[in-house]
Structure formats: structure tokens, C-alpha cells
Amino acid sequence: MTTSLPAPGLTIGELEANYPLYCKAMRLLIREGKTIAKVRRTVCWQRLEILHNCLPTQYREPDYLFALLQRELSAGL
């Protein structure tokens, strides 16, 4: 597991406020057909990873979210 540090000046509160935006970005990447390897190199993945590492009971791992969103989009929901 890699340790990610927030960008300078970025607070956990700001990350939490932008959580829906990061999920939306991941959903768009999945819809475009990006592989998990490519998605792992994105800012949204890094921010979701930071949230999970800091608040694991509130935020799921990005791997789990990727699988969940991928399944959701393939089911046509």
C-alpha cells in the first residue's frame, strides 16, 4: 500500500466536500473504458485513497469503489 499525502493546503474537510466529485470522475473514467491501472494514476484515485486512509470507517477503498461503479455501469443503472 502506498502512503499518499494531501496536496499542500488541502484539508480533510475539503477532500470530504469533494468526495462526490471524485466518485463522478471515477465513474466517467470507467464509462470511457479506462483500465484500473490507468485509473490508479489519476488525481481522483489519489484523493479517494487519502480519504480511505484517514477515515477508513467512513470511506471505502478506491479498489472497492472501482469495482462497485464498474458493476453499476455494466448493469445499466
Phi-psi region of 33 (alpha: psi -120 to 50; beta: other; left: phi over 0): left
Q: The pTM is what? A: 0.84
pLDDT at 9: 73
Give residue 11's Cα distance to chain centre.
Answer: 16
- From the list 49, 44, 43, the residue with the least C-alpha distance to 63 is 49
What is the full per-residue pLDDT of the chain (77 aa) written as tens digits?
555 555 567 899 999 999 999 999 999 999 999 999 999 999 999 999 999 999 999 999 999 999 999 999 888 75
